[in-house]
A and B are shown apart, each in its own frame.
Chain A
C-alpha cells in the first residue's frame, strides 16, 4: 500500500514537473484559459442539473458583486461562499 502511495506521489510530481521543465516540449497554446474555464464550470455545477445550480448562480452573482465593489479577490470569494452557505439555510 505504501508503494502505491509512493507511485502516485512520484507520478503526480513528474506529470507536473517534466512538461514544465522541457524547453522544447509541449506548447501550451490556450490550454491555460481553457483549463481555468473548465475548472470553474465543473467545480460550480455538480451533476445532475438541479435547483442547486440556481443557488450556485446566485452565489456567483454575489461573488461578482463582491469583486466589483471591493476589488479584492479574497474578500469576494469570502462573500460568495458566505452567501452560498446562507442560501442553503433558507
Chain B
C-alpha cells in the first residue's frame, strides 16, 4: 500500500486546487460545509460533483441534477473492464476508481507482481481520496486564499494534464487511441466533454473488434 500512496502524489497535487475550488463553489452556492464535504466523501467524482452543486445553485430539481451528474460519469463504466486483467475489482477498489487513479493504475498494475496489486491500488486511491477531501474541506471553510500566491493555483491546475500526458505517451502510436482522443477533443471543443469521453470509450471497445477482424 505504501508504494501506491507514494505513487499518488502527482494525483494529489493536481486534485488539491480543484477540490479547494469545489469546496469554495459549494460554500458560495449557500450549501453547508458539512453537505459539501459529504459530497466529496461519498461521491468522489469531481466533474459530477461540480455539476451537482452548480445545478442545485441554479435551482434545478435535485433528482434531475443527480441524474445529469450520473450521465457525466458514464465513462467510468469502461475503467473496471480495462483493469480486470490485472486486478479483480471489489467494492473498495471500485469506490476509488476515478479518471486519474484509473490512468495511473493502468500503467502500473501490469508491472507489479499479482500479490502487490491490490495494496498498490488501494494506496493510490487512498492518497487521491485524502487530497480531494482535504482540499474540499479547506475550500468549504473559506481557505481558497491558500492558492492566491502568484502562479501557484495555475501551476497546480496543470498537474493533472501533465500526469495524463506522461501516461498517454506510450499509447500515442495506437491508431484506435488516437482516433478516440481526436473525437474526445472535438466534442470537448464543442463543450460536450463528457459525451466525448464516453464516445472515446466506445471507440476503444469497437477498436479491439476491428483489430481482431483484420488479423488473418
**Which A residues lie at the B interface, using CB under 8 A?**
1-9, 11-13, 15-21, 25-45, 47-49, 56, 59-60, 63-64, 67, 73-74, 76-78, 80-82, 84-86, 88-89
Of the candidates B69, B97, B154, B211, which one forms a contact with A30 in the assembled complex, judged by CB atoms under 8 Å apart? B211
Contacts of A33 in B (CB 8 A): 171, 174, 176-177, 204
A42 close to B188 (CB less than 8 A): yes
Question: Are B165 and A4 touching (Cβ within 8 A)?
Answer: no
* A54 CA / B168 CA spacing, docked (Å): 19
| Cα(A88)–Cα(B158), bound, Å | 11
Q: Please state if A29 and B206 are interface contacts (CB–CB under 8 Å).
A: yes
Number of A-B contacts (CB under 8 A): 284
- How many chain B residues touch A (CB < 8 A): the figure is 96
Which of A42, A59, A73 interacts with B158 by CB under 8 Å?
A59
Bound-state CA distance A74–B95 (Å) is: 24
Judged by a CB distance under 8 angstroms, whether B20 is at the interface is: no
Decide: A32 and B82 in contact? CB cutoff 8 A: yes
Measured between alpha carbons, how far is A88 from B155 in the docked complex, in Å? 8
